[in-house]
Amino acid sequence: MSKPKILLLGDIEHQSAKESFDALSSVAEFLTSKSDNPSDFLNECRSGAFNGVRAAYRTFNSVKITGRIEGEVCEELGKAGLRFLAHNGAGYDQCNIPDCTKAGIHVSNVPTAVDAATADTAIFLMLGALRMFASPLMNLRKGEFRGKTPPPLGHDPESKMVGIVGMGGIGRDFKKKAEALGMKVQYHNRSKLSDEISGGAKYAGFEELLGTSDVISLNVPLNSLQKSTHHMISTPQFSKMKDGVVIVNTARGAVIDEAALVKALSDGKVFSAGLDVYEEEPKIHQGLVDNPHVMLLPHMGTWTYETQEKMEQFVVDNVRSALETGKLKSPVQEQKDMPLKD
């Protein structure tokens, strides 16, 4: 009996994860793509090059090769035999889950390995935004010290109310770190969590959270299960917030209407913002780039050696679980009860 095939989309960077992946050669045959753009990849799928593939390891940057995993790509991979797609990332908006489901492809993500590093990034952005550190950082490197005009005075985090939108692993990690700074915490989630899971944080309705938080941290996915998260923060939501609110986003860029955020910053409704993600990244709204009071990072939330290594190992574990048990270790929420097509 021939071995099942594993398709590697993208590169595995860390040696320990490479060794774990290579060890799968005892139970599977490896395939790679010869394409370097989405058009060629689709033609490669159509050609039958991936026939017999059972599972795929997919990196975030492989989107440059494959494009989004949707439509005909899903159809062709499903016909080739793909049943498991292990995606390296907590967010999986690069994959169209309804299309994958229709094609019989089960998708997994990396829901826990990213928590601490992403929460650390959110804390950094929050402090930078509260303290107005963005312009002094730039001015110092230009030889102007604090700047020709001193920046506005910032705010201390102590005693401020932070509202967490999305109380998953990242949100809960962020909560603990915010409390260590002396902040008060409330959260909004799809459903209220037990006190044990939420750490005793106050649950608030969405509009209540908007109107009573000094800082709002966004930690929600952008996916087909929660279509409402696309532009969930826009002009109507900004109008309900406290004057001088600080916005932090380490989730996905499109949960905020960037044009509305630029206007809210210009109008003074929003004091400052700390952003790691953008609607059309790597493109960033010019109004954000030009605003000296906004802390900007180029999607660095999980950019640490330790976290990247853990993420890669987690994906390998998903592939191994799929081949050995017929189930993914961490299926995406939309497919929790999805039966195997075969």
Positions annotated as catalytic residues are: 252, 281, 299
Task: Give me the amino acid identity at 341.
Answer: K
Alpha helices, DSSP H, located in 241-304: 258-267, 286-289
Cα-Cα end-to-end distance for the chain: 17
Q: Tokens 């997994």 map to which residue? A: 108
d(CA 280, CA 285): 8
* Cβ 186 vs Cβ 163: under 8 Å: yes
- Number of Cβ atoms within 10 Å of the Cβ of 269: 18
The token pair at 205 is 């309705």
On the CB side of 211, CA atoms within 13 Å amount to 7
Please give the angle made by the CA atoms of 116, 121 and 123, to the nearest 5 degrees.
95
Strand partners, 202: 186
Gap between the Cα atoms of 294 and 87, Å rounded: 31
Q: Which runs of E-coded beta strand occur in 102-146? A: 106-108
* Helices 169-180 and 115-130, packing angle to 10 deg: 50
Could you tell me if 330 and 111 are in contact, meaning their C-beta atoms sit under 8 angstroms apart? Answer: yes
Nearest 10 degrees: Cα torsion 207, 210, 216, 219:
10
Q: What is the token pair recorded at 208?
A: 């209540």
Of the candidates 222, 214, 194, 185, the one whose C-alpha atom is nearest the C-alpha of residue 333 is: 222
